[in-house]
Amino acid sequence: MKARLLFLFLCLTWSGWAESFTPYSRDSLKKGDWFTFECVNYYPYVAPGIKEEIPWRAENIRRVIIRATVTDRTDKSISIDYTLDNLYDCHNDQKKQGFYYFDSRYQQDFAFKDSVSGKQILHATYDRKSGKALISDKVNSLYSYSKAYIPFGVRQEGLSTYTEVSVHDSLDLEKLVIPTADDLLTGWKKDVPNFPVPNTRIIEASFPLPPNTEFTCCDFDIDASGDSTIHKKIFIPYPTEYKVGKQTTLLLTPGDSIVQDKKLYTDTHLIRYEGRGNEQNNFQYGYRRFANLYESDIFVFDLKQPEQMEKAFQPRNALFQTVLEKDFGKMDPYWRKVFERTEQYFKGEAILTYYMHATDKEAWHKSGLLNWQAPPLCIGQSTYRLCIRLEESECCKLLLFFV
């Protein structure tokens, strides 16, 4: 216990090694500076099959990202242009097993109507001394788009095959931006813009943003000389994988404060983290060893029948759930969902791989293991977008990424 307290005390002294943060005031803004802010509208979960709200969710949400760029600065004024950076819209159908989806980053997949990213919404000029808006030049900022209907289940890669069913929608970007733009500089705190509008926040900038996440850990680069301790305070808008040095990757959520037990690593070469956010990182460390051990069992054996596949997965599934519940019951829901989905998609990949090489494919069909319509493989029931490409050589490729 004393050793742990001493270690935590030393971590506090390491804070001086972290990069210092210099607040960026409104008067620090210069021509070319920019920042993006996100405006979010949450749709209610009313669709069949949805039982819980997913943190940092990708479904039942409309997310609009606006870029504000300083275009001019004089002794008395600052001019800012507001443009559309991205519009993402996804909501489940209330009566059918599917969802409506749109993302302006993938324009080739959707129908547009005189709408493009980068569209200017507003040009505003502010008084530098008071921060008040002097002039606001508005433009025609109606953004029209069509959301494609995508049924739950796995289909061929690409959305173009779904566009026969769609719903048209539009958004007045001017109404969305003006409440924020009018009071942008008058509400600017000492280090970041203040957004009084609900569900609006800054997510990125060309200048330093106040840190919201902190960690202290070791870089395990064998070529490093001297103390390998790294302490950083950073800003992140979403949960993310963060590479530390050459060998370490942390799973971070805004608000985390993670400290590695350096003495334990020095004495035993085991890795353990403490502080807020320790659960997903400790689980990740153990999960890699666990996955390497059991994946070799799954793919080394020649599993010709689906019953053999089920039996091969039983010890892996049991251990995974036991460890998750017993040791990591308080894990952040987002990362828990990530680990659970990773396991489920791994099993789906293994089943598909053996099925593609099976001589008795009918037995695999009858087993029910290839139920691609069931959660979590049905698109829209997770925080992932999943595509499967079947090549002519009967090899399969799983494409999995966050939307």
Contact 359, 341 (CB under 8 A): no
Write the burial class of residue 100 (CB in 10 Å: 0-12 exposed, 13-18 middle, 19+ buried): buried
Over residues 325-342, the mean pLDDT reads 84
**Residue 241: how many other CB atoms lie within 10 Å:** 10
85-102 pLDDT, tens digit each: 999 998 888 777 788 888
The average confidence (pLDDT) of the chain is 76
pLDDT at 343 over 80: yes
Average pLDDT over residues 209-225: 79
pTM of the entire structure?
A: 0.77
Q: Rounded to whole angstroms, what are the CA distances from 140 to 143, 168, 229?
A: 9, 19, 53
Half-sphere exposure of 47 (CA within 13 A, CB side): 19
pLDDT tens digits for range 291-307: 665 565 666 666 677 88
Report d(CA 257, CA 12) in Å as an integer: 12
CA distance 254 to 227: 27
The average pLDDT across 179-201 equals: 85
**Identity of the amino acid at 136:** S
Count of beta carbons in the 10 Å neighbourhood of residue 161: 12
Is the separation of the CB atoms in 62 and 176 below 8 Å? no
Confidence band of 32 (pLDDT split at 50, 70, 90): very high
3 state SS of 339 = helix
pLDDT tens-digit series, residues 255-302: 999 999 888 888 888 889 999 999 999 988 877 766 665 565 666 666
* Of 58, 64, 40, the residue nearest 401 (C-alpha): 58
CA geometry: angle 182, 186, 190, nearest 5 deg = 135
Q: How far is it, in rounded angstroms, from Cα 222 to Cα 244?
A: 14
Q: CA nearest 273: which of 261, 255, 289?
A: 261
Report how far residue 124's alpha carbon sits from residue 182's, in angstroms, rounded to the nearest whole number.
Answer: 8
26 compared with 166, residue with greater pLDDT: 26
State how far the Cα of 29 lies from the Cα of 128, in Å rounded to an integer.
10
Scan for tokens 């996100």, then name that residue.
38
Q: Are 236 and 242 in contact (CB under 8 A)?
A: yes
d(CA 122, CA 166): 30
Residue length, the chain? 403
Under the banding of pLDDT at 50, 70 and 90, the label for residue 340 is: confident
**Separation CA 308–CA 94 (nearest Å):** 39
Cα–Cα distance measured from residue 336 to residue 123, given in angstroms and rounded to the nearest whole number: 43
Identity at 403, one-letter amino acid code? V
Q: Is 295 helix (H, G, I), strand (E, B) or coil?
A: helix
pLDDT beyond 70 at 191? yes
pLDDT in tens, 46-78: 655 555 555 577 778 899 999 999 999 999 999
Residue 180 predicted with pLDDT over 60: yes
